[in-house]
Chains A and B, each alone.
Chain A
Amino acid sequence: MRISDLFSETFHSLTSNKVRSGLTILGIVVGIASVIAMLAIGNGSQAQIESSIQSAGSNLLTVMPSSGGQGGGGFRMAASNVKSLTRDDAKALAEIELISGAAPEAQGNGQLVADGTNANAQLIGVTPEYAAVKGLTVRSGGFVSQRDDTAYAQVIVLGSTLADDLYGEGVDPTGRRIRSGNMLLTVIGVLSEKGTSGFTNVDSSALIPLSTHQRYVGGDEYLSTITLTVADESEMSTAETLVSSALLERHGIADPDYADFRIQNMADLLATVTSVTGTLTALLAAIAGISLLVGGIGIMNMMLTTVTERTREIGLRKAIGADDNVISLQFLVESVVLTLIGGGIGIVAGWGIGVAGGNLMGIAAIMSLDSILLAVGVCAFIGVVFGFYPARRAAAMSPIEALRYQ
């Protein structure tokens, strides 16, 4: 039988029972679409998390206070209640060779009252280094200067979202006054939009000089975080070790298990998060794969029904001289064509579902060539595997029995 005849016969037999062919295709469509959608959303969220971590800077080491005695068990204080890091620590760490910048910061919350509107925002006490380390730029005005810090200046830099909330979009609030607690702060600048970076959303925060923060908000000399930039990203681990030993020495702690701080390595975090989201994506795809399997069994079911229903036709075809192998091939091609049509529609539908679902979740779905190839491969495989048994059954029929079949 010629190839063109084979496909013409396949087309004819699939279109002579449109409803059944359609339902079988639907089974495959659902399977493939869910796999594709899951992979697209999974890959999208993974990429998003990665870029969010990377935008925070993957060359960052974050030093945070932490209670000691991690190795020994027993009572451990919540990290936020531990006070161990000071501005002097930050200065000392900045001296380490591999460290290119050190930004001490103190965090707290404050009610900001501005010209009749008010907002509760995170107030971060920063030094001028903060802008460079965190990669911040100003939309208008300037940033906290060394002089502001030295002079306990009552100035404030607003995050972009916070500025819009307080003054409305398109308004430059530079020079306006904001009251917060005992402070009367002058707005000196507004930050450009940055997006979530790491664990802080700087867009909805407000920055004031660290000295001012420590005097009016925190009330003590301690820091909540020191963020360090490492000059060479490939030497993150070495830098981490150096920072750790320098701090232990400064704090007079001999046993690293009792350190009163911990260091977060962004590169490690990125690797961990990537592997976790990768696993989740694989898990989702595996669950979707089960529906693909069900679709495949649907194909086999339909092909078996078809073989039984077309017994007399098979008998006739054999009587007029169709070879067993040709009969087998005809049924196999039918099932492969069904799965490939289903797969094609499934890829498009899955893409649509992925994009729509991603939009709902605020994730940009990513459709990779790999997942399309995977889907097509799986379809062809299912078509052959689940079509093979019915095809063999059709081929193995005796023409005499088949012709006699009622």
Chain B
Amino acid sequence: MRVILERSNLLKSLNHVHRVVERRNTIPILSNVLLHADGASLEMKATDLDLEVNEATAANVEQAGATTVPAHLLYDIVRKLPDGAEVMLKTDEDGNAMSVISGRSSFRLQCLPQSDFPELSAGQFTHNFRLESAAVKTLIEKTQFAISTEETRYYLNGIFLHTLEVGGKLKLRSVATDGHRLARAEMDAPAGSEGMPGIIIPRKTVSELQKLVDDPDVPVTTELSDTKIRFTIGSVVLTSKLIDGTFPDYQRVIPTGNDKQLIIDRESFARAVDRVSTISSERGRAVKLSISDGQVTLAVNNPDSGSATEEIAADYSSDPIEIGFNAKYLLDVAAQLSGSEAKFMLADAGSPTLIHDTADEHALYVLMPMRV
């Protein structure tokens, strides 16, 4: 293989691809990126066996061929080369090493044969639809923070994507929960998504996808089956396994009868939560909200260090209520809201609280209180 290409093109593609590669691997080939030069392009591919990303970029192929080299190493080299440089990638006669040559720099990297590189066979896809990048971004960003990181409940380690009919219209919904809070975003279902299975997209796939949808002008083509999903964003193709589990019937935890409405300025609320929680201990980051007519008092009590309170004005006219929340969860939700005000719908100190985004009726958050 002998190929010459722009450093910027190579860097851009490697940047998309190399992130999939785990820093520590017990299987050596999984540390490598597959390079395949043919026609007028260089294709790069990386996998962790659950997720695969590949991208092709324009290149001057002098001799077609393929090999694999350590992904992070190659990325770091290309990253440090000067902007505007041209890079030549050239394998040895015996194929055991590849040279990276640019200007006066020259590197030799050990190769592993491309035939050892694992293929993530995608199988047949049953559904296929297109979404705008912005739509994908919304579905991810509104819910990603609530994905569980606790591995026992593997079925919560991702975003649940499914369609359902709301008021006679088919909606595409993303939902994530860690058992303490839940986030839900929805939009009109795109053509082609009708009848798709409810799927759980793993956390790592979600975060890779999120980084790939930064360009708002590029549509995202989604193909999926019961077990796999593939996103095509411009020249990048991301294929991933799905989580083999059943997402809980989340609708049962979204309360419908909460009648105590609290409307509060989002930013001053978040700042106040952040301030009073300074005093809280690492273990129990609880903030007690005492909500009464037109006012919320936030209080944190840490037996080891002291206490803090802050009062903020709010729009509230129901019976007074005292309720505790994890400060971090309140801040996480506040950070998601796009409106200047947050709307809380409360029931009591032991039941789930609903939080609405006043500027986005398609997003919804459920937060379980803390006993304080």
State yes or no: do A and B come from one complex. no
Q: Interface of A with B (CB < 8 Å)? A: none
| Chain B interfacial positions (CB closer than 8 Å to A) | none
